Amino acid sequence: MAHLSSRHIKEAVRYIEDNKFEEAIAILKEFVKENHSTIEGWYNLGVAYAMIEDHEGAIRSYDEALAIDNGIFEIWFNKGAVLYEIADFKAAKKCYEEALSLRPDDAEAWNNLGNVYSRLGDGKNAIKAYTRAVLLDTEYAEAFYNKASAHFIEEEYEQAVAYANLALGIDPELAERIQPWVQIARKKLEAKRKHEERSQKKKQRDSR
């Protein structure tokens, strides 16, 4: 193959945009052979591998890119997404934390970190991460939904219902996902209210 230049990167990116991932991979694999220290080649190769769900190839490519420059948000973010897909949640958590150290105002990264915490069974930190996401983007319906769901799992039913309503206000199409457990949360709240009423009436009777 003739010597490859930056125009081949542009060609590979066009292939990726056109969903021609195998063609992009073929070009990029040859490109990084000749230009091993070019971060664009490794990064885009990682993107192409991720799109065909070659997780090992994607992670390997992102690692090569990070070895050249570990201060780029997109590489940490994308590697975190691949690790999440293969259920390596601890490694994904590290990637999203690294990404957020570089861009702390990225709502999607906070939401994804929340998803990682949820998968790790750490509901409290999941809620904190989702809270950061919705504060940064007040129209982020998915993050509001995730925060509501995390509150529900933590049996914080008032917050679950409140944030579910906010999510629905932004995206009514979430109703099918939200309604089953929101109904449970509302029943729990109603049962709590009735219990408190009975307890209050009993106290009043006992005090007479």
164-187 pLDDT per residue, tens: 999 999 999 999 999 888 889 888
Spell out the domains of the chain, with CATH numbers in brackets: 1-104 (1.25.40.10), 127-208 (1.25.40.10)
Query: pLDDT at position 192, please?
Result: 77
pLDDT for the residue numbered 7: 87
Task: Quote the pLDDT of residue 2.
Answer: 41
92-149 per-position pLDDT tens digit: 999 999 999 999 999 999 999 999 999 999 999 999 999 999 999 999 999 999 999 9
The type of residue at 100 is: L
pTM for this predicted structure: 0.88
Please state whether 88 falls in left (phi above 0), alpha (psi between -120 and 50) or beta. beta
3-state secondary structure the chain: CCCCCHHHHHHHHHHHHCCCHHHHHHHHHHHHHHCCCCHHHHHHHHHHHHHCCCHHHHHHHHHHHHHHCCCCHHHHHHHHHHHHHCCCHHHHHHHHHHHHHHCCCCHHHHHHHHHHHHHCCCHHHHHHHHHHHHHHCCCCHHHHHHHHHHHHHCCCHHHHHHHHHHHHHHCHHHHHHHHHHHHHHHHHHHHHHHHHHHHHHHHHHHCC
Q: Read off the pLDDT of residues 33-92 as tens digits, 9 standing for 90 and up.
A: 999 999 999 999 999 999 999 999 999 999 999 999 999 999 999 999 999 999 999 999
